[in-house]
Amino acid sequence: MDNFVLMFSARQISSKIHHHLALQIVFTTHIPFNSVIAGMEYEKIYGFMVKPNITHACTVTEGELNIINIEPYSTTGKFINQMFSQGNDVIVFETKQEFQHHFDLNKTDILNSLHQKINTYSNLPKQDSRMLKVIDYLNQNFHLQNLNPHFLSQMINLSSSRFSVLFKEYTGASLSRYLLWLRLRKAINLSLLEKGLSLTNIAIEAGFYDLPQLNKYMKEMIGVPPQIFKQYSNLIQAY
């Protein structure tokens, strides 16, 4: 699983016009939907891709949307960015066949085929045991507050500056960005699954300082606050 990618599906949920810092792929495998993207209206489309900070909204009266948010500076993000033609920040798929062809997907299982395809985009470079050790530690302890280059570099006997350079080369993004995506994933999963847990407790358990910080980063990165996931937890599924 690529930790710089957040995937979820939403049934019969429309979104207001918003923007975010993530690359985003939105698609349906069944019923087409209407959308407004960068001020232009589109009717009965099967999907779209947008670069960061492109305004968009979706109107879904029936059926399900699949949403994939991607860190633009990650290995996967850089690969997806190459799919846009020069000067173009939006790709719209008018038909299901256009979407399948664009990603070269298995026609009988589009969703799983796309998941697998994205995982191939995120293949890490040469195996570095030092970085693997750090990444394994981060994946298990992302909620801690002392996860800085100085602390982590001591685990693998590097200077903090050298560690920061190697980490970015290996993952495609900075340590702070990597931690942010891990914490957002945890916050979304808790919001969907732990109905009795307050958003404040969700923020703390996911590794944020407080709820305002979680609100800030979730709206910046994926365009919606955590209460949306909690409010519509019966209609949203995370992958």
What pLDDT does residue 1 have? 67
| CATH class held by domain 5-121 | mainly beta
Tell me if 5-121 shares its fold with 177-238. no
What pLDDT does residue 29 have? 87
Query: pTM for this structure?
Result: 0.92
176 HSE (CA, 13 A, CB side): 2
pLDDT reading at 109 higher than 80: no
Q: Which of 65, 72, 55 is nearest to 93 (CA)?
A: 65
Q: What angle do CA 29, 236, 53 make, to 5 degrees?
A: 80
Q: Which of 171, 172, 174 is nearest to 161 (CA)?
A: 174
Selected from 1.10.3470, 1.10.10, 1.10.357, 2.60.40, the CATH number assigned to the domain covering 177-238 reads: 1.10.10
Q: For the chain, what are the domain ranges? A: 5-121, 129-172, 177-238
Each residue of 63-106: pLDDT tens digit?
899 999 999 998 889 889 999 999 899 999 999 999 999 988 87
- Backbone angles phi and psi of 148, in degrees to 5: -115, 165
Across residues 120-126, what is the average pLDDT?
A: 64
pLDDT reading at 175 higher than 70: yes
Q: Which residue has the higher pLDDT, 91 or 108?
A: 91
